Chains A and B, each alone.
Chain A
Amino acid sequence: MTEQQVIERVWKAPIDLVWKLWTSAEGIASWFGPAGFQVTVDEIDLRPGGTFRYTMGATDPEKIASMEKAGRPVSWAVESTITEVDPPNKFVYDSPMGPETMTTSAEFTEGPDGVKLVLIIGATKAGMTGGAAMGWESSLDRFAEQLA
């Protein structure tokens, strides 16, 4: 069971700047966190098999209060494994999402209109047990909260 979502964007900017913003710790910290959350990159080892670990923390006082009330942690770490690095064109990593794996692939190409990004997010699910279904639901809740 595999599902994919593809998003495309085109930016008028030098490809090296796009790459730096996408793959450096300071760059990622400037855009990765959803509204009300701050992301700190703890480690990003740009090579296949390297670790990409970040901590996502709520910064919005209202959000913090509601998360504490619901007994949820206000910050958590996500550790992904980088699977493909080809500067400044391709960056792919796998993230554990409960028992599932989510693959995030970003490909940058230079064209006449600027740098084109093709982002592919894919989830692979092999069989779902009761426990997995619960983990699934809680991830859903957590992300719904981040989007709110």
Chain B
Amino acid sequence: MGDLARKLPIAQSGVSRHLRILKDAGMVESRTEGQRRIYSLRAEPFEKLSEWLGQYRRLWENRLDQFELELERQTAASPPRVELGRKTAPKKPNSRRTK
């Protein structure tokens, strides 16, 4: 902890307080060696963050699949609609039928 306090522009008591908060949150762990308190980072919360974002990645991969389907539906929708119109409502036979 003394090493950290020397490198940071805050008082040792401030460093101690910050480390305690990080420890309560499970971000760091500590052990004592004689008069010294040694802090180290815990890997787990970092892994959790990346796991959490990984869930978003999967959510977005699904979303993008749906986006792609909708895009295909919309790009396919316009040309057939024109052709369909030609087949079901032909102008010549129509006019022949009405008159």
Q: Which residues of A contact B (CB under 8 A)?
A: 1, 3-5, 7, 9, 11-14, 17-18, 21-22, 27, 30-32, 34-35, 102, 117, 119, 121, 123, 125, 127-130, 132-133, 136, 139-140, 143-144, 146-147
Contacts and interface: CB of A to CB of B under 8 A. Distances in A.
B24 A130 contact: yes
Nearest to B56: A121
Interface in B47-79: 48-50, 52-64, 66-71, 74-75
Contact of B25 (A13, A30, A102, A133): A133
Interface of B is mostly: helix
Given A5-B57, A127-B27, A136-B52, 9 more contacts: A4-B53, A5-B53, A21-B71, A27-B70, A31-B66, A117-B64, A121-B56, A127-B22, A128-B26
Contacts of A102: 56
Contact of B64 (A7, A17, A147): A7
B26 A133 contact: yes
Given A127-B21, A132-B25, A147-B58, A32 B63 contact: yes
A35 B63 CA distance: 9
B14 interface: no
Interface in B71-98: 71, 74-75
B2 interface: no
A125 B49 contact: yes
A94 B49 CA distance: 18
A125 to B, nearest CB: 6
A14 B24 CA distance: 52
A18 B75 CA distance: 10
Nearest to A144: B55
B56 to A, nearest CB: 5
A9 B68 contact: yes
